[in-house]
Structure formats: structure tokens, C-alpha cells
Amino acid sequence: MENKEQLTPKETSEPESYYFELQASWGLTKHMGGLNATRDLIELCHIDKDSYVLDVGCGVGMTTCYMTKEYGCKVVGIDLSEMMVERSKERAKRKGVGDKVEFRVADAQDLPFKDNLFDAVVSESVNAFMEDKQKAVSEYKRVIKPGGYVGFNEVTWVETPPPELVEYMSRALGGAEFLTYGGWKDLLEGAGLTDIAAGTYKTTAWRQWANEVKQMNPRDYLGAWGKFLSLCFKNPAVRKYIKEISVPPKSVFRIFKYFGYGIYVGRK
């Protein structure tokens, strides 16, 4: 990487803790590949109107609501954060799907569901945050019926990253730890899933941004920015965090050469 200095954040207390707090407050969570990647994941998991689906780490409930609205399936969304679950419930109400979805606070590594319950478990940009990734994926397998699918979309290193980039991404993105294609695929195999379908996709900073905008309606998007600016204005700790994780625009474009996203699906 050409500009080491600019990507190395200064020492702070725990900036990671602001990552999800900020996203929940401004009502926007994301994953790479946006809506196109979500559709690919849904198709690969064979989700249709008869499916009972678990959306792990649902964030503000965008995919949970989308699945039930567009595919007619019943969905349970879980997230570790109470604030995310609240945002999800508000979204479901706004979208008129409150009676078809359910949201709960729960840890992916210790799911509060009985064995063989769901037809599919999906998660988007969640396993990177897990302390014990293998335990989480084994939990997903436990709660799906025989023949059911586990599928996830995760940021994937496609070129060996410089250590300072790994450290920066972890600090800026809530302590995330990304794996390579082999690393993510091994988790499905390690859980005893079969018929693995997996692939990686490259993207650019522009395309990723455009995907995020496309996934939200303009009112939600402007509202999110309004909340974000108001938070920055009111909370000096948030301002400090944003300053510390900010990198020059040029670096943002450059770092996309090291990672893309991967879609990984296995069958029980």
C-alpha cells in the first residue's frame, strides 16, 4: 500500500463500539453487493413463499422485510443489538409486514431455537464480527431442517492485504475479522454442510455506494444522513471516532483491490 500513514488510525479508547451504535441510530446497516447480492443469496438458498427463514444479524431489518415482501416467506430476524431490533420492528411496521416477521435479540453463537426448525438461515456481513465463527455456523446448521440451506455473504480478501489495512478495517468496522474464500468455505464444511456453492465478487467504492443508495428509498436515505449529521453535531465522541477512521478519498478507492464479497451456501 502506498500510503501507510493515512490508513493507520490514532490510538483511541474503543472506537469499534461506535460502529454499530451509529448504524442503529441512523437506521442504516449494510453489506457488500447490496440488493443484487441479497437476491443471489436468496435464490441460492431456494427461498420461496413456503419457506420459514432465519435472518441472523438482521441489523435494521432491510433484508428481513424485503424477503417477506418480495418472496412471501415467513422470516425471523435476530440481532445482538437491542437498538437494531427496535429499528427493525419500526421498519416492518412502516413496510406493512409487521404480521409476517418477528424480531428478537439473540446471539448467533447460541441461537434460542430448537433443532430442525427453519428451511434456511441467511446472514449478510455478520459472521465477520463473531468471536467463534465456527460455533455460529454450526448453530445455523443445527436450526435448519434436513435438506435446508445455510447461506451467507461476507467480505472476502481476494489479495493478501497489508497488515495495517487489516488493522484499520477491524478498528473502523466494529472489530470485524475478514477471511479468504477458503476460510469462509471451510466454516460450511466444518459444520458438516454439503453441496457447497460459493463464489467471490469484486466491486468498487462507487458501485458499493450506488448499491447502498439503491437499496434504500430516497426518503430513508436522506433521513439517515440527517440523523447522522445530528449525531455528529450532538456527540463529540462520535465526531472523534469519525475523524479517526476517516481516510483520504484516494485510499478508499485503492483499498477495494484487496477485498470483495463472497456468497457461501451449504445444505444440511
Ligand X SMILES: C[S@@+](CC[C@H](N)C(=O)[O-])C[C@H]1O[C@@H](n2cnc3c(N)ncnc32)[C@H](O)[C@@H]1O
Q: Which residues bind ligand X (CB under 6 A)?
A: 20, 29-31, 57-59, 62-63, 78-81, 84, 107-109, 124-126, 129-130
Q: Which is nearer to ligand X, 128 or 158 (CB)?
A: 128
Smallest gap from residue 203 Cβ to ligand X (A): 15
Closest CA to 32 of 267, 258, 266: 258
d(CA 190, CA 52): 24
Smallest gap from residue 78 Cβ to ligand X (A): 6
Smallest gap from residue 111 Cβ to ligand X (A): 9
Q: Which is nearer to ligand X, 126 or 255 (CB)?
A: 126
Q: Which is nearer to ligand X, 43 or 107 (CB)?
A: 107
Residues 6+ apart with CB under 8 A from 184: 127, 152, 154, 156, 198, 262, 264
d(CA 7, CA 32): 21
Q: Which is nearer to ligand X, 42 or 62 (CB)?
A: 62
Smallest gap from residue 114 Cβ to ligand X (A): 18
d(CA 159, CA 161): 6
The helix (run of H) or strand (run of E) holding residue 240 is helix 236-245
Closest CB to ligand X: residue number: 59
Smallest gap from residue 3 Cβ to ligand X (A): 26
Classified as helix, coil or strand, 55 is strand
Q: Which is nearer to ligand X, 68 or 125 (CB)?
A: 125
